[in-house]
Amino acid sequence: MELFREAGFPYKIEGRQDDRRSNNSTTGRPRCPFDEEDINSLMPINFGVIENKQHFQNEGGPGPRIKMNHGTTTLAFKFQHGIAVVVDSRATAGSFISSRTVEKVLAINQYLIGTMAGGAADCMYWERILAMHCNLYELRNKRRISVAAASKILCNLVYSYKGSRLSLGTMIAGWDSKGPGLYYVDSDGTRISGNLFSVGSGSPYAYSVLDTEYRWDLSVDEALDLGQKAVVGATFRDSASGGFINSYIINADGWKHISHIDCFDLIQKYNSKKK
């Protein structure tokens, strides 16, 4: 461990917890019971090092601006055959498209998935930590974790960083002993259960399509079609959404990736139907 300290490595060794507490005294960051100081997880630190970090995260002022991947449309809804999850695949850094092929549905385990909206790195990292906690739960308790518990773990993890400008808007969807479970969790600390959610910059457009045609008794094909139509509508009007439309279905057997379609092709398909 001396190597790390010599290189100025910002890793705090277990047993020397005083540094985290002193960080808390300046930021007032509430401690999370799931914090694990482990070299393999490499928890983020150094929040509050520079006062008023806004000037190098937003536009305005001299010098380079950090641009992180953002922007999206994701949606999920419960129906009689399970949960349909449909997402786009565009990641933007400012006005530059940093990726056209992002996987915005992150597998937590075989029957639980999390979606990605807001900061791509935040979602990717925290859902990976969530997957670790869910795995440990299964090993310790010899049963699957419930969707409610998994979403609560994530919610508590990000709540302990509240105020540190994390940006996370995710839906935890899965199947447990109570049937389908769908929770919306975000970095403000919101955690709500529901039948239908859409998250991201394109969500108002997706909601308008979903709310018009959503019913509980959809067939699987109708549900996927509705979800795709909603995301396509969002990609059409929202410049931060686009790319490929990925669809998933979750049922008692777990989650399954159904389709990967270019949204341009889908738009053309719906336009040709209009004529």
CB of 45 to other proteins, least distance (A): 7
By CB under 8 A, is residue 261 in contact with other proteins? no
What span, in angstroms and rounded, lies between the C-alpha atoms of 92 and 176?
34
Which C-beta is closer to other proteins: that of 102 or that of 206? 102
- For residue 238, give the nearest of 58, 71, 67 by alpha carbon: 71
CB of 1 to other proteins, least distance (A): 10
Three-class secondary structure of residue 251 per DSSP:
strand
Other Cβ atoms less than 10 A from the Cβ of 142: the count is 7
By CB under 8 A, is residue 47 in contact with other proteins? yes
Q: Which of 72, 92, 115, 235 is labelled catalytic?
A: 72
Question: Which of 14, 19, 56, 136 is close enough to bind other proteins by CB under 8 A?
Answer: 56
By CB under 8 A, is residue 69 in contact with other proteins? yes
By CB under 8 A, is residue 55 in contact with other proteins? yes
Among the candidate windows 37-45, 143-151, 199-207, 214-222, which touches other proteins by CB under 8 A? 37-45
CA-based torsion, 228, 229, 230, 233: positive or negative:
positive
Concerning whether 170 is annotated as a catalytic residue, the answer is: no
Q: Which residues from 93-112 bind other proteins, rule CB under 8 A?
A: 93, 96, 98-99, 101-103
Three-class secondary structure of residue 57 per DSSP:
coil
- E-strand spans in the chain? 74-79, 82-87, 91-93, 96-99, 105-109, 112-115, 169-176, 179-186, 191-193, 196-199, 244-251, 254-262
By CB under 8 A, is residue 48 in contact with other proteins? yes
Question: Which of 64, 139, 141, 271 is close enough to bind other proteins by CB under 8 A?
Answer: 64
CB of 17 to other proteins, least distance (A): 17
By CB under 8 A, is residue 33 in contact with other proteins? no
- Cα distances (angstroms) measured from residue 1 to each of 6, 30, 89, 112, 271: 9, 28, 40, 36, 61
Whether 226 contacts 63, CB under 8 Å? no
Catalytic residues: 72
List residues binding other proteins (CB under 8 A). 3-4, 7-11, 40-50, 53, 55-56, 60-64, 66-69, 91, 93, 96, 98-99, 101-103, 119-125, 164, 166
